[in-house]
Structure 1
Amino acid sequence: MIRTVRACALAALLVVPGTMTACGSSVDSPAARTSASASVDVPAAVTISVRIAGGSVTPTNTRTEARQFQPIVITVDSDAADELHVHSEPSQTFAIEPGAGQQFRFTVTVPGRVDVELHHAGKTVTTLLIRP
C-alpha cells in the first residue's frame, strides 16, 4: 500500500514537472504565456501635413489632440529652409530643407499644451493638446 501511494505521488510529479510553484499557481500555464507575450496597445501616430510655399504656411494655428507618448509625425513640403520647434519638455527642433516629403517623428512625454512653430516663418502650425 505504501509503495502504491509513493508510486502515485511520483507519477503525479512526473506528469507536470516544473509547472507548480510553492503557492500552487502554474508558472507555465497558457494564461501565463499569453499575458507575458501580449503586446501593449500603442496608439497610431498622429500625422500633420505642413506646406511652406511662397512665404505661406498651411496649416496655421490649428489644434491637434494626441496622447502622452503617442507618436507624432509632421510631414513637410517646403520651398524654403526653416526650423520646426516643438515646445515640449524637453523642447525639440528639426531642420527643414527645401524639398517634399520630409518627416519629423517625435513623442511628447508631459501632458498639456505644446506649440509647434516654424522659427523663420514666425508661424504656429498647431498647438498639440496632449492628454495623459
Structure 2
Amino acid sequence: MTHRRVRYGLVTVAALLLGCSSGAGSDSTDDPANAARVIDIRIANGAVSPANTRTEAEVGQRIVLRVDSDTTDELHVHSAPAHTFPVAAASGQQFDFTVTVPGQVEIELHHLGRTVTTLLVRR
C-alpha cells in the first residue's frame, strides 16, 4: 500500500510539472506549430540582453518582444514590412508582429545601436 501511494505521488508531481512547463521562448498552446516565439529583452545601464543572438521562427509565426528597460529607445524590426516600437523606461512592455517573408530579420535598438537578435525565418 505504501509503494502505491509513493508511486501515485510521483506520477502526480510529474504530471503537474509537465503541465506547468512551457518551452523557453514560446507561448504554451495546444498546437506547437502556432506557438508564439517570445523574446525577453532587458535594457539596463546601457547594456542589452540578449545581444547579437540568433532566434529561429516560422513564416507567419507570432513574434512577441517582452521588454524591461530603464531608458527610452526604439526597437526596429527590419522585415518587409518593417516595424518600429517605442520603448519606454518601464517594465512589462510587450510588442508583437509576424514575419511573412522567409529570411533573416534583424531586431535592433535604434538609439543604443545594438542588434538584439536576428530572426532566422523559415517556411
Tell me the TM-score normalised to structure 2 length: 0.73
**C-alpha distance 67-80 of structure 1, shift in aligned 2 (>3 A):** same
Indicate which of 86, 94, 98 corresponds to 1:95. Answer: 86
Residue 107 in structure 1 maps to residue 98 in structure 2: yes
Q: State the number of aligned residues.
A: 93
Question: In the TM superposition, what is the alpha-carbon distance from 1:51 to its structure 2 partner?
Answer: 0.3
Alpha-carbon distance between aligned partners in 2 of 1:42 and 1:89, rounded to the nearest angstrom: 22
Identical aligned pairs, as a percentage? Answer: 60
Unaligned runs of 5+ in 1: 1-39
Question: In the TM superposition, what is the alpha-carbon distance from 1:42 to its structure 2 partner?
Answer: 5.3
Residue 85 in structure 1 maps to residue 76 in structure 2: yes
Indicate which of 113, 117, 123 corresponds to 1:126. Answer: 117
4+ residue segments displaced more than 3 Å: none
Q: Helix, strand or coil for the counterpart of 1:125?
A: strand
Alpha-carbon distance between aligned partners in 2 of 1:127 and 1:120, rounded to the nearest angstrom: 18
Residue 50 in structure 1 maps to residue 41 in structure 2: yes
Amino acid at match of 1:116: I
Offset from partner CA, 1:46-67 (integer Å, 9 cap, x none): 0000000001101100000000
Amino acid at match of 1:77: D
Question: In the TM superposition, what is the alpha-carbon distance from 1:43 to its structure 2 partner?
Answer: 1.3
Residue 71 in structure 1 maps to residue 62 in structure 2: yes
Q: Which has the larger radius of gyration?
A: 1
Q: Helix, strand or coil for the counterpart of 1:100?
A: coil
Alpha-carbon distance between aligned partners in 1 of 2:47 and 2:89, rounded to the nearest angstrom: 14
**C-alpha distance 56-43 of structure 1, shift in aligned 2 (>3 A):** same
